[in-house]
Structure 1
Amino acid sequence: MFSRLVFGLGLLSATALVHPAFATDARALQIFVSKSKQSMAVYDGADVIATSKISSGKAGHTTPSGIFSVIEKQTYHESNIYSGAPMPLMQRLTWSGIALHQSNSVPRYPASHGCVRMPDAFAKQLFKMTEMGVPVIITDGQLAPEPIDHPMLFRPQAPAPAPLLSDVELRPGIGELPVQVAMNEVAMPRLQVQPIAAPANDQPVKILITRRSQRETIIDLQTYLAELGFAVGNADGYLGPATVQAIGEFKKQHPLASTQAKSLVSDDLVRAVYTAAGKGEPPNGVIMVRQGFRPVFEAPVTIAEPELALGTHFFSASEVNLKDGTTEWLGVTLPNTLTSQTMKRLGISTMESSVISGTPILNALGRITIPDDTRQRIDAMLTPGSTLTISDTGVGPETGQGTDFITLTRG
């Protein structure tokens, strides 16, 4: 970690101030960009270690807001969108064309075609400091990470005995989503106490908790219908002819009494299939894990009060202490206004997640239940720089091959 010093750097300073000599573990860095202030702040834990003015995207080319990470670094790059425009010291955030890069024109107002421009001296120092995967949070207003302590957050523990024993089998990651390139359950107790060992792979893990999509629900329907003897074809998450026929045959054997009976895939159908397969109550959430820009696995989770929005929250593990079995987590809440159509699709009746009590970020954590075996597997993978995103809206369209989880937000 960096030295825990605050250098009194004003977030509005037009001069980049960087202290790379203190860098000892770049995995714990976080970069926050404010479009309203046209500023950037680099954090080590909760401490600001560098600031700079920036220029984000102008009208018609607005820089997207959300949670990103550095997925590529090039000392010199030319845009293949804008006639080979130079992009020195480029740190890519999306494969569709958004990046941090050096520029000789940083007027401290939106002036770019979507990228985040930085002054020369700052861009050079930042390029030296960062590693692949460092989080970059872009919002309209200024955000600052704050310490978060909650029992739902992960901490290092000894790995669970293999194989994992659970009613729900962990699935591999569902694979990569296509992205157009525009730039060159109840776990058994542990058999014995095991010492905490450093993870075999020390790359930070990236975790996303969100609501289950229809594809994940259909995969489970296909899996459990096949276990019940129905021919569904491949469990691929798509309603092909074989799956449609299997659902029809299941409904004949298990008539649905509700008004949803005419719907091909309804909540009552899912619940009936789970019951018939002896799987209990259907989960309404999913946890996904990536490491080294690749999917590792996903598993079901339960979200309480699903009619309330979870909100969009980002957490970073600034320190992971294997000896004490503790993790220092930092968190922020990102503004994210859902459209009425999105709320209807997700079954959300109100955006006010704070109506329960306390703060939205703690409410979101308190509403999520993770199976013990899933938690143990993630606990054993934790390293400094591991991150957790909680979002209502699922896997963002920019998430794909060679990325961490990318979450786009609306102000």
Structure 2
Amino acid sequence: MNKPLRILATIALGGAAILFSSCSNVSSGGTSGTAFSFDPPAKKPSNPSAVKVHISTGAGKLYVTEGNEVLLATPVGVGTSANPTPKGTHRITSKTRHRRRQSNPGAGYPMTYWMSFYSPAYGMHWGFVKPYPSTHGCVRMPLKSARKVFDMTRVGTPVIVASSQPWDSTIGAKLPRLDDSPLPNPPDSYMKSSKVFADQEQGKMWNFN
């Protein structure tokens, strides 16, 4: 091999090494970014009646399981100590794909892929995710996670909320750190329009993707 070809081969191998190294870092949980870049792998349940949702308030993680198998895992935002996400075993009581906040402040704000699990006021839904407790008790999910969880569950699906879950130190520890706090709030004219739901069905929102 002549010198120019050896140089090109070295560059190509170096680029491949960087690419695979980056992929490795993503799976190790050492990365960070906004929730809009996160798209969790998900496996379709073979028996929807056996699906359960497990939420770890301590780790800020959500796991969808069927039997002993984790079908989907995602970082989430949970309630603060003053307004905690209610612990215990609950069930999804209602599902609304395109829901808006009913009360003030923030009436009309989209709460897409809504799944209530503890009285009408507490649910899982899309929302800006922060790597620390920051909600009033709801569970906020990345957009693509929320859509997949919504499609994998049904009314009656158990929702188990606890300080920790068995997968926190394994699967959960490999999830990236997500932080939407640096993102600006999109204008109300967009958030309260029908376009926000059309965009979210395509897995995108505003100019964050």
The aligned counterpart of 1:90 is 114
1:48 aligns with 2:70: yes
Q: What do residues 76-125 of structure 1 show as CA deviations (whole Å, max 9, x unaligned)?
A: 2222334323211100112241100011x101211111100000011111
Q: Distance in 1 between matches of 2:30 and 2:159?
A: 18
Q: 1:112 to 1:101 in 2, by over 3 A?
A: same
Q: 1:82 to 1:33 in 2, by over 3 A?
A: farther
Question: Which structure has the bigger radius of gyration?
Answer: 1
Q: Distance in 2 between matches of 1:13 and 1:47?
A: 25
Q: Which has the higher contact order (CA 8 A, sep 6+)?
A: 2
The aligned counterpart of 2:42 is 19
Contact 2:57 2:161 in 1 (8 A): yes
Q: Which runs of 5+ in 1 are unaligned?
A: 1-8, 145-411
Q: 1:49 to 1:57 in 2, by over 3 A?
A: same
Of 97, 103, 109, the match for 1:81 = 103
Q: Distance in 2 between matches of 1:58 and 1:135?
A: 23
Counterpart amino acid of residue 95 in structure 2? K
Contact 1:19 1:50 in 2 (8 A): yes
1:33 aligns with 2:48: no
Secondary structure of residue in 2 paired with 1:93: strand
Q: 1:89 to 1:12 in 2, by over 3 A?
A: farther
Q: 1:111 to 1:12 in 2, by over 3 A?
A: farther
Q: Superposition pairs for residues 328-339 of structure 1, below 5 Å?
A: none
Q: Which runs of 5+ in 2 are unaligned?
A: 1-26, 33-37, 168-209
Q: 1:134 to 1:102 in 2, by over 3 A?
A: same
Q: What do residues 28-56 of structure 1 show as CA deviations (whole Å, max 9, x unaligned)?
A: 11111001100011111001111000000
Higher helix share: 2
Considering only aligned residues, what root-mean-square deviation do their CA atoms show, in Å?
A: 2.4
Q: Distance in 1 between matches of 2:31 and 2:78?
A: 16
Secondary structure of residue in 1 paired with 2:89: strand
Secondary structure of residue in 1 paired with 2:118: coil
Q: Superposition pairs for residues 218-297 of structure 1, below 5 Å?
A: none
The aligned counterpart of 1:63 is 85
Aligned pair count reads 134
Contact 1:34 1:138 in 2 (8 A): yes
Q: Distance in 2 between matches of 1:13 and 1:58?
A: 24
The aligned counterpart of 1:133 is 156
TM-score, normalised to structure 2, is 0.58
Runs (4 or more) in structure 1 with deviation over 4 Å come to 9-16
The aligned counterpart of 2:142 is 119
TM-score, normalised to structure 1, is 0.30
The aligned counterpart of 2:10 is none
Q: 1:65 to 1:122 in 2, by over 3 A?
A: same
Counterpart amino acid of residue 58 in structure 1? T
- Measured after TM superposition, the shift of residue 27 of structure 1 is 1.0
